[in-house]
Structure 1
Amino acid sequence: MRYLVSVISLLAFLPFYFSAAIPLGPNKVTCVAKGDPHIKTFDGTSYDFSGHCTYDMVNDIDPNHGQSRFGVTVDNMYRRNEKNARVVGFSVRANGHTVHVTGGEDGSFIIRDESRTEIPQTGFPLKHGGIDVKEDEGHLVFETDVGVHVSWNRFFQVVISLDLDVVDDGRFVEGMCGDANGNKENDLKTRDGDLVDFDQPNKTEKQIIEEFGQTWSVENTCVSL
């Protein structure tokens, strides 16, 4: 019964890739967080998770020094009378600089820096530290020089693209997007590095996924219901 993850069909995810606005190649993998939310990891595991916090999707770690050059988080929130939380914002961090985006229901958005100061939108492309922001076919695309890129459709879909050179260079990645090592079987690990066990008595698959996801929540970001 191991890995009885709620599998969302491949066809449901194909539109994500065709509308991602990030060029894909043989040396890149993508992770998708969409809607309420459906998540597909770098290695292709799909699951549903409806937490109401900010979550670490991917961080890179240097095993020798423990330093992280980049990270991406997503913000999940309940809208109006909806039963499930949705992706309503995200952050991209690269080499000490961060841009945080909060989206509106009408496709509007606000961009802030690491101090949460609003960055004036005087037109694109826009640059903040090592993060370049541009428009591409209706999407906002966030590019960095450290191996991670993000495309946002201005509503509820975030696509994270990872250069596999990051992993090949001896670093590793972790988070709700998995470890990008080409193996689905070890995708779902908690923040402490424990592999999720789906053979837990008296717990549903949904409860197990919720417990896993909450280990990746960012401190003091959860909204009380």
Structure 2
Amino acid sequence: MGTCLGSGDKHYQTFDGLKFDFQGTCTYTLAKYCGSAATLEPFTIDEKNANRGSQDISFLRVTNIYIYGYNISIYKREVGKVRLNGVITSLPVTLKDGKIRLYQKGLSTVMQTDVGLRVGYNKNWHLEITLPSSYYGAMCGLCGNFNQNPEDDMMSSNGIKVSAIMVWAASWKVQDRDPFCWHSCQENCLTCDESKRDLYGDDSHCGVISKAVGGPFRECHSTVSPENVFDNCIYDMCLNEGNKTILCVVLETYADTCGDHGVTVYDWRTPSSCDESGSWYSDETGGNGTNLTVSPIDGGDGHLHLHHCQVLWP
């Protein structure tokens, strides 16, 4: 049996006992079955880290487990609950005819499987992954290869042995739609705290872009994916301290793109308080809420990109 640990301000220990510290704030693959035996159930465990006040300190915010066709997400702040394929679900839960059991044990959310894989994560940022010996030598990721030799744990995702922890971790980065994440922050790194992301992601801000039921862009989603537009909107709003003129420009650009594809777009100006000029208006003042103008930047590829907007002061 082997155990991989992640705890506190991102202290790790692999299945083979290699200890290391890493403060990256992206999503990384911790443990993945990389063998070929048909008798072993494949799985992947990722973790998403986040900043905790200081740019020098990160902590584990969410654990994603992919097994038996499920995406099981355990969030730090959702005690007694998990997300099954994105849907918040109260514990306990039994899946796949008992092959997966999810339950709360004290401060920990626990997943137990019939193949012997056990994952426990508690609200004090402590993660514990336990594997049976049947997976011996068949693992990869930041938890190592589980062969009782810590000297060869630092294998990159393309199978090359590396000596630098940051290089090793960066090779196991998973795309997570977080433009603010970093592997190593020296100083003045861009950040956007979770409360601001929640605010800018609501239906009166960037959330209107991806709103499926009753949303103004709902008929466009299958033609022009809202994901990147939404992510870039959050990014712009964070960088510009919630300036709503930025929001109006992003929404107008998405609306125009949808229109170019012949897709019907419903009223988006009213819920987002954007006037016909693309500026934000305030009901309290009866006029524009800001006197800023926004210019998209030429990305050098023949297209204009709004995700790095310049704010021009008159």
User: CA 1:222–1:49 in 2, change beyond 3 Å: closer, same or farther?
Assistant: farther
Query: Does the alignment pair 1:76 with 2:49?
Result: yes
Aligned to 1:50: 23
Aligned match of 2:14 in 41, 53, 56? 41
Aligned to 1:191: 157
Helix, strand or coil: the match of 2:56? coil
Aligned to 2:33: 60
Unaligned runs of 5+ in 2: 181-189, 191-314
Aligned to 2:59: 86
Q: What amino acid maps onto 2:117 in structure 1?
A: V
Paired residues in the alignment total 178
User: CA 1:164–1:222 in 2, change beyond 3 Å: closer, same or farther?
Assistant: farther
Find the structure with the greater CA-based Rg: 2
TM-score normalised to the size of structure 2? 0.52
Which whole-Å deviations, capped at 9, do the CAs of 1:124-171 have from their partners, x for residues lacking one?
43123342112224322111123321111223110000111123xxx7
1:109, distance to aligned residue in structure 2 (A): 6.3
Query: Does the alignment pair 1:127 with 2:94?
Result: yes
Aligned 8 A contact 1:139 1:151 in 2: yes
Which whole-Å deviations, capped at 9, do the CAs of 1:105-129 have from their partners, x for residues lacking one?
xx74652112x1222x1xx431233
Aligned to 1:215: 171
In structure 2, C-alpha distance between the alignment counterparts of 1:58 and 1:220, rounded to whole Å: 17
Aligned to 2:258: none
Q: What amino acid maps onto 2:43 in structure 1?
A: F
Higher relative contact order (CA 8 A, sep 6+): 1
TM-score normalised to the size of structure 1? 0.72
Which protein has the bigger helix share? 2
- Identical aligned pairs, as a percentage? 25
Helix, strand or coil: the match of 2:159? coil
Which whole-Å deviations, capped at 9, do the CAs of 1:45-87 have from their partners, x for residues lacking one?
000011111111111123368x971121111011234521111
User: CA 1:89–1:181 in 2, change beyond 3 Å: closer, same or farther?
Assistant: same
User: CA 1:38–1:214 in 2, change beyond 3 Å: closer, same or farther?
Assistant: same
Aligned 8 A contact 1:52 1:222 in 2: no
Aligned 8 A contact 2:2 2:130 in 1: yes
In structure 1, C-alpha distance between the alignment counterparts of 2:176 and 2:110, rounded to whole Å: 28
User: CA 1:145–1:48 in 2, change beyond 3 Å: closer, same or farther?
Assistant: same
